[in-house]
A and B are shown apart, each in its own frame.
Chain A
Amino acid sequence: MKRVVITGIGIYSCIGSNKEEVREGLYNGKCGIDTEPLRTEYGYRSSLTGVVPKPNLKEALNRRQRICLPEEGEYAYMATEEALKDAGIDLDYLEKNETGILYGNDSSSKAVIESHELCVEKKDTTLLGSGAIFQSMNSTVTMNLSTIYKLRGINMTISAACASGSHTIGLGAMFIRLGLQNMIICGGAQETNYLSMASFDGLSAFSMRMDDPKKASRPFDKGRDGLVPSGGAATVILEEYEHAVKRGAHIYAEVAGYGFSSNGAHISQPSNEGSALAMIRALEDARLKPSEIDYINAHATSTVLGDTYEAMAIDSIFAQHKTPVSSTKGMTGHECWMAGASEIVYTLLMMRDSFIAPNINLEEPDDISKKLNIIAGTLDKKLDICLSNSFGFGGTNSALILKKI
């Protein structure tokens, strides 16, 4: 089996528009959440959201490229540009060397809804414009980026709810381990517009703490009242180890383990057993013991059920080791389809700069979370091996282990 490493990272999120801004945000416990009054007018219960600026792509991309990109595609382009540059990869390299793309995305609501509204008004599909179809499909990110970057390797979107970005990296690692690809662009993207989250808001899953947005997302805290939707995009460049060494590329870490499972149970409720199984499989895959994990980046979204079941799962494996745990979602909100990839980028930045980003807004852990070693304030600490959890609707679970080499 080949070894798989990460040689480039890029991030476009509500706490920063590039990796260095995000690194500062993570270290300082910056919160990127605010209210969007339009949501209340539209009929949302909660107007809270992660606030992500619209990228200006007028100079970077031509008209055809721009009109086919939906909002989450624009975010993905920004993150991927940064990641490729970070890895020392340019268009000339991509034209000469087969490179793949696997990206997590599970909606493109704005493009679909706007096309519908225009069609209702015009009663004529030919007036929807040429970009609408390419913006509307779930695979919009991979179809656009593969065209922009002239990619000729594996090319597909992974839709696995809030674990999409994580599974993407795990599956990308499998392609490289098997020797099928030398390099794959992996990541996750999430639209943040008000059209995209209405039906999720309708489940009463979102925090109602609109009077104090920066305190709204409170993973593991007894006083939490729901998650805050957010988004953006995160990209990592996965590369076969020997290939990276030959190129002289900087290596952030090895993707040492990937574990997956499916709960086979409720459509929205998580499971401690399923979550634990994904972590155990990741440990087995990496041939590591729980005691060797320096830090766990939890999925914890700030919902009672989700946080509790994850805390139970982590406790069942790591209890005796008091492994440090934090959820970055207090700062970022829940980046959904992007989260599994962005939290790998957050974890890599922590590993690079030797710190654990804080689980902000943790004032009093709930009874189960009390058993965990949750890091509420930034902690300077050398990190060599880290685990990142991602879970999604339908009971899909993914756990990734990163190891410095």
Chain B
Amino acid sequence: MDRKQIIEIVNKFLIEDIEIDSNALIEEALLKEDLGIDSLDFVDIVVVVEQNFGFKIKPEEMSKVKTLSQFYDYIEGKLK
């Protein structure tokens, strides 16, 4: 799966499942401050990542992920 496909899938579930405005999904957007993803939303992101990419996010790995771009990078790295 290439980065473009990952971005498509991630953006799709952020829009459809987490109900984030599509206009807010720019690479430099901060997950918490700009996209409003809180600790409960993160629990649901763990579920949709598992459903869409087949791996389980580890909370300690996500602590360094601050922006949407870094989130795409994280998933890309896990799928390699």
Contact = CB atoms under 8 A, between A and B. Distances in A.
A126 interface: yes
A132 to B, nearest CB: 9
Contact of B40 (A62, A64, A128): A64
B12 interface: no
Interface in A85-140: 124, 126-131
Interface string B18-54: 1100000000000000000000110110110010000
Contact of A63 (B18, B43, B47, B50): B18
A180 interface: no
A131 B40 CA distance: 8
B56 A130 contact: no
A67 interface: yes
B47 A129 contact: yes
A130 B19 contact: no
Nearest to A63: B19
A67 B50 contact: no
Nearest to B41: A130
Contact of B56 (A124, A128, A131): A124
B44 A130 contact: yes
A130 B18 contact: no
Nearest to B42: A130
B19 A62 contact: yes
Contacts of A62: 19
Contacts of B18: 63
B52 to A, nearest CB: 13
B59 to A, nearest CB: 9
A81 to B, nearest CB: 21
A68 to B, nearest CB: 9
A130 B56 CA distance: 15
Contacts of A129: 43-44, 47
A67 B17 CA distance: 10
Interface residues of B, number: 11
B12 to A, nearest CB: 15
A225 B36 CA distance: 55
A126 B56 contact: yes
Interface string A59-88: 000111001000000000000000000000
Contacts of A131: 44
Nearest to B17: A63
Interface in B36-80: 40-41, 43-44, 46-47, 50, 56
A129 B48 CA distance: 9
A366 B56 CA distance: 63
Contacts of A126: 43, 46, 56
A59 to B, nearest CB: 12
Given A63-B18, A63-B19, A124-B56, A130 B50 contact: no
Contacts of A124: 56
Contacts of B46: 126-127
A129 B18 CA distance: 12
B62 to A, nearest CB: 12
Nearest to A67: B44
Interface string A321-351: 0000000000000000000000000000000
A211 to B, nearest CB: 43
A252 to B, nearest CB: 38
Contacts of B44: 67, 129-131
A124 B46 CA distance: 11
Interface string A1-17: 00000000000000000
Nearest to B59: A126
Nearest to A134: B40
A64 B42 CA distance: 12
16 contacts: A62-B19, A63-B17, A63-B18, A64-B40, A64-B41, A67-B44, A124-B56, A126-B46, A126-B56, A127-B46, A127-B56, A128-B47, A129-B43, A129-B44, A130-B40, A130-B44
The 8 closest A-B pairs by CB, nearest first: A130-B43, A130-B40, A63-B19, A130-B44, A129-B47, A127-B47, A129-B44, A126-B46
Interface of A: 62-64, 67, 124, 126-131
Interface of B: 17-19, 40-41, 43-44, 46-47, 50, 56
Given A127-B47, A130-B43, A130-B44, 12 more contacts: A63-B18, A63-B19, A64-B40, A124-B56, A126-B43, A126-B46, A127-B46, A127-B56, A129-B43, A129-B44, A130-B40, A130-B41
